Structure 1
Amino acid sequence: MNKEQLKLIVKRTLPIPVRNYLKSQWQRDKLYPPFGKVGFGNLRSLKPISDCWGIDRGQPVDRYYIENFLADHSSDIQGRVLEIGDNSYTLRFGGDNIKKSDVLHAIEGNPEATIVGDLSNANHIPSDTFDCFILTQTLQYVYDLQSGLKTIYRILKPGGIVLATLPSITPLSDAQWNKCWYWGFTTVSTQRLFEEVFTPANIQVKTYGNVLTASAFLQGLASQELRKEELDYRDSNYEVTITVRAVKPQVMS
């Protein structure tokens, strides 16, 4: 009796729960590491290695992806640039191409802010103002996403560019900000959200991450604890960071 004949007899004679159990037992023999032999080491804990995204150990894994994305699009960071919270990325990646730097913060009290307001309710920000908007890890805090994206589109100049990053696989490590962390994202949801406002042809959505970097990020390991080839490998099944480059169309003459 060959293997195929045995499978046929099993399929015809055994109930489904028994067949599924036998299948799982047979598959264990093919697993590597074998079932029950995985070495968890330092990961066998109900607490992460770092509970602040790995900032205490070095550069957080998601920041590796965010900063590589901005570096790849540094030529877009020019003219009048708006950034959330502070202008560190504006100065770092825009350099001498910056004519004016603005900082948007949602609430009063940030000494670096030149504009105070919520993206979903920001009629006081003039339309057609900014050449570039650096929007890193912010949209998860905007409950009314559609209104927020409409504001982003409105305040960009024709031809202006938003460089946005969004979290997908991530720990929620900051108790203060967790209270207003509303959303997680996927490539599909991100694409659809931006297509509701921007022209689809003017949107580029990319993802970064893999099972190793996702696990490392959840544990709070720093990017320096991984190899470059490990960080740069992309597996769309494990989206750590989603990036968007969206352009507001030029005015048609």
Structure 2
Amino acid sequence: MSSKPHFSIEFYPPATPDGIEKLRGVRDQLAALNPEFFSVTYGAGGSTRDRTLQIVREIREAGLDAAPHLSCIGATQASIREHLAEFREIGVKRVVALRGDLPSGMADPGEFRYANELVEFIRKDSGDEFFLEVAGYPEVHPQARSFEADFKAFITKARAGANSAMTQYFYNADAYFHFVDCVRREGIDIPIVPGIMPIASFTKLARFSESCGAEIPQWMRRKFEGFGDDAESVRAFGLDVVTALCERLIAGGVPSLHFYSLNQAGLTSELCRRLGLVNQA
């Protein structure tokens, strides 16, 4: 491709006032890269609702586009309507519609079981007012019974009214391209944006990947393990790996890239610089 894709950046709501203040600085640094929007995650069962809304509100007040996550597990139709009203009030036009996780100790999932039901409800309640993103799992959702079951669930929520999809992170580009090919064969033509996870710590990455179902290729794992406690080598190798992954994805025609920043500016900024995405119009 001769043109570079757009890109977006994800934050999570910090648990402390100091963390929120630090995130403001990170946001300002990353805003200088001119991302298409910032997304903000939403805790299990709405546990971060107020903090998520605060961060989204501040992003909007800074004149930037924000896409709050909205999960339906534990929610009611009334609570979803309330969320949408809050989003409407602060000028949010894009929402990441998710099933979400059932909080520990919560037995009742609420009035929604799956993300497609949330997408259908938002469409029924608000028409085309919101641009709806859904999640995709090129390497299969960790709670899915099989690839086929997970893929069917994705197709169902795409057909329910999704405008676009963002994927779980991965390090095997073939998994992404295979997933996209399967989706296209079903007649679904929405953009499928790859999720990109910069690598700051292999120990943390390995732990997180185990819980979310993202595969770390064996060659990568062996290389990282060989660095031991050499954090600088881990960072340098991680940047090379993720840069090469993004370059292959861009060459393959991806519509955009979605960076999971982990509320840090350094690695995402460096990746954007290496990929020539900085200060794009």
Fold shared per TM-score above 0.5:
no
Give 1 or 2: higher helix fraction. 2
Task: Give the structure-1-normalised TM-score.
Answer: 0.35
Please tell me whether Structure 1 or Structure 2 has the larger radius of gyration of its CA atoms: 1
